[in-house]
Structure 1
Amino acid sequence: MEQGVVKSYDPVTGVGVVVLDSDRSEVFLRPGSLDGSIFRMLRQGQRLLVDTVEEDGVRYVTTVKVGQDEY
């Protein structure tokens, strides 16, 4: 898992952007990215732990967790 910060998030569409701490790259949240997590919405500046996958040259968030206990 990588750490990052929410740059933007639209709770209506479920789409957003997370900036990774490791290399400041942007990864994208798709509708359904929060499924299976404790989150229903995110706020700008919120710190997260994320798993990502690359598809067609674009990185997407697959799993979202927060904190030491990885909820």
Structure 2
Amino acid sequence: MSAGPTREKVSWTIEAEVLEGVRRRVPRGQVSAYATEALRRQLERDNLDELIGELVDVHGPLDEAAVAAYVRRWQ
């Protein structure tokens, strides 16, 4: 049986209005899990930004018209 992910206790300073918004949305005792998921999503975005940068370096800049068409199609 797996013990699950290793966890580490940290102390961060967060803007009061951000923390208030989280506390309004998240059940008591779930703030850490909520923050973990938010940080995980940010890491995914950062990784995608790096990948896009690498692809642009290899293949050149994105075609803005194609990007706009893609965005319109998925809205």
TM-score range for the pair, normalised by the shorter chain length: under 0.3
Structure scoring higher RCO (CA < 8 A, sep ≥ 6) equals 1
TM-score, normalization by structure 1: 0.23
Select the structure that is richer in strand: 1
Larger Rg: 2
Which structure features the higher share of helix residues? 2
TM-score, with normalisation over the residues of structure 2?
0.22
